[in-house]
Structure 1
């Protein structure tokens, strides 16, 4: 500052210094621009994350398609023939009650497949025929059917369903070199992203029955979560702006956008055998400028940037905590205009949303 001007840029004598004023205006513009750029950087970072996730999902679909066409398809077709042959050869299908499914029954099945394998290895006349072990029953418990396969193998067929309608059938084959040795998984048609090998390490060597039950729950829960997402896309796809999910559907996020208010739903599942989420966050983000706050940017320059203040929709979180996703979605949409009117009564959000639903 020269000796002819004061701190405000005013010349001594009452006149303003135009050069000083220009410098001050530029400084203020730079501060505001920094704040806007900071907000834009946040938006670009979020958009980049979404783009990366979309690319990962596309690569997964391509990989799944290739696997289904090549080696996995060959395994599936071969196991399908093995299980169909066992079904044709079975003497009966035994329906088990919960208390009948136990370690003793599994031991009986193991003994049966090993005796059959030994008898065939020694020739048809090498061992006396035991009418009891000459039978070839299958055992059904819940969504599982256990078969005695050729070659001392035990086959488990998992039949999944959704809303009472059948979905995919998966297969898993267990084998042991002798009756006294532990069972191992030798082949299966379970999706590669589900932790079948981890379950084998955790359960199969110590408790084969627990392993079989866990895999059944794992598959059914995966199909249930996947079908819930498929159904809301089918029923409400025109209302959903964006939808992301993990391969196992234990992380689901989607957006409901009514132009003046964006509702974001984030669901996390405690484990892969859960069908209801454990961590839920539903937020309503106003887009209308009357519901925005001015905050100082992180660079400390004093500039202010417009930021939306979200409101948490507790009624929606309660619905998602106790209902299936399609049921909860219908409940959320039904009550959303009333709740938004209470939260944002001074904006035009509700009218816009109601007109869109019509």
Structure 2
């Protein structure tokens, strides 16, 4: 009798536990049968990872921007700017060049001239040689957004004048020097932003083609300013529509978020190289993230379809616009058509 009572008690204790396990299995069973995946949680995880990564980029941006604005950097810019202004003010003529005139032969002539002038000044300081008016003629050269100046000390200065939408932006400098006319030139000073690879360009191009190096640095600077100003303009025009916006220092990685119709639209842009002004890798996704919004997918003619969490969809029209237009133009195109496209893609969100 005692054994019977103990077995009954043990059975009574196991019964609630068994029922709890059965309820838990029943609660989970629909998810297992339908294969439903919680895409919202996956999206949140990915977005949090992206936010953390880009937050780190922003912190680095602030640190590096502080380095860029240190007094020593400002002093270099101000000193070079004054030197370039003095050289241009002292010029006897400025020659505008077209594409064919800007060549290695002309640059060799400029190099020869600055070395002869340096030698003449060195000799005149030791003897009483009368000045030669031929050497006092100072010529500067303009090719597109570049001004080439002959500077003292056998140096050649390049001033880059960037612009956006026809309006002038920053001025940058690069100073080249060589010990003799026959030796290769090196970059001795510059005011190019430190996150643009001028030293890599020097190693790859300057020894083989100074013209290609000078032109490439100009493209780097103008493309950087173009990308930066495009981002500045969309923030200025559409800042109230943009929830989050991140970018790298060189603006070759840009990501921002829009929210509309219970959808979060994420835009991710990658640029193939630093001389690109249009992105090469584009992804625009619409996320129906409202927790109360779900829709049916699968065979509706069958047993009622499958209930699934909303999943992201690519906005191909937006990606096409970003591939062929500047960022402000593409943005306007995207926003203009966004309500209609989202309504077509997610009809169950209509009227939200």
Residues 241 and 259 (structure 1), Cα distance of their counterparts in 2 relative to 1, 3 Å cut: farther
1:206-229 Cα offsets, whole Å, 9 max, x none, are: 000000000000000000000000
Q: Which residue number corresponds to residue 286 of structure 2? A: 284
Residues 168 and 179 (structure 1), Cα distance of their counterparts in 2 relative to 1, 3 Å cut: same
Residues 126 and 50 (structure 1), Cα distance of their counterparts in 2 relative to 1, 3 Å cut: farther
Segments of structure 2 that go 5 or more residues without pairing to the other structure are 1-10, 298-305
Q: Structure 1 residue 64 and structure 2 residue 98: aligned?
A: no
Q: Structure 1 residue 188 and structure 2 residue 190: aligned?
A: yes
* Preserved contact between residue 154 and residue 177 of structure 2 (Cα < 8 Å): yes
Let me know the Cα RMSD of the aligned residues: 2.8
Matches for 1:35-54 after TM superposition, within 5 Å: 40=41, 43-44=44-45, 46-54=47-55
Q: How many residue pairs align between the two structures?
A: 325
Q: Which residue number corresponds to residue 273 of structure 1? A: 275
* Preserved contact between residue 291 and residue 309 of structure 1 (Cα < 8 Å): no
Q: Structure 1 residue 218 and structure 2 residue 220: aligned?
A: yes
Aligned to 2:273, what secondary structure does the other structure show?
Answer: coil
Q: Which residue number corresponds to residue 108 of structure 2? A: 107
Q: Structure 1 residue 23 and structure 2 residue 25: aligned?
A: no
1:285-330 Cα offsets, whole Å, 9 max, x none, are: 1124444689xxxxxxxxx996431121111111111110000000
Segments of structure 1 that go 5 or more residues without pairing to the other structure are 1-10, 295-303, 353-358
Q: Which residue number corresponds to residue 300 of structure 2? A: none
Report the Cα distance in structure 2 between the residues aligned to 1:313 and 1:48, rounded to whole angstroms. 22
Q: Structure 1 residue 323 and structure 2 residue 325: aligned?
A: yes
Report the Cα distance in structure 1 between the residues aligned to 2:95 and 2:337, rounded to whole angstroms. 49
Matches for 1:304-315 after TM superposition, within 5 Å: 307-315=309-317
Q: How much has 1:58 moved relative to structure 2?
A: 2.9
Aligned to 1:206, what secondary structure does the other structure show?
Answer: coil
* Preserved contact between residue 261 and residue 339 of structure 2 (Cα < 8 Å): no
* Preserved contact between residue 37 and residue 309 of structure 2 (Cα < 8 Å): no
Q: How much has 1:42 moved relative to structure 2?
A: 6.5
Aligned to 2:347, what secondary structure does the other structure show?
Answer: coil
Q: Which residue number corresponds to residue 122 of structure 2? A: 121
* Preserved contact between residue 228 and residue 326 of structure 1 (Cα < 8 Å): yes
Q: Which residue number corresponds to residue 90 of structure 2? A: 89
Report the Cα distance in structure 2 between the residues aligned to 1:154 and 1:95, rounded to whole angstroms. 17
* Preserved contact between residue 61 and residue 248 of structure 2 (Cα < 8 Å): no
* Preserved contact between residue 40 and residue 310 of structure 2 (Cα < 8 Å): no
Q: Say which structure, 1 or 2, has more relative contact order (CA 8 Å, 6+ apart).
A: 2
Report the Cα distance in structure 2 between the residues aligned to 1:118 and 1:112, rounded to whole angstroms. 10
Report the Cα distance in structure 2 between the residues aligned to 1:74 and 1:156, rounded to whole angstroms. 18
Q: Structure 1 residue 347 and structure 2 residue 320: aligned?
A: no
TM-score w.r.t. length of structure 2 = 0.84
Residues 293 and 143 (structure 1), Cα distance of their counterparts in 2 relative to 1, 3 Å cut: farther
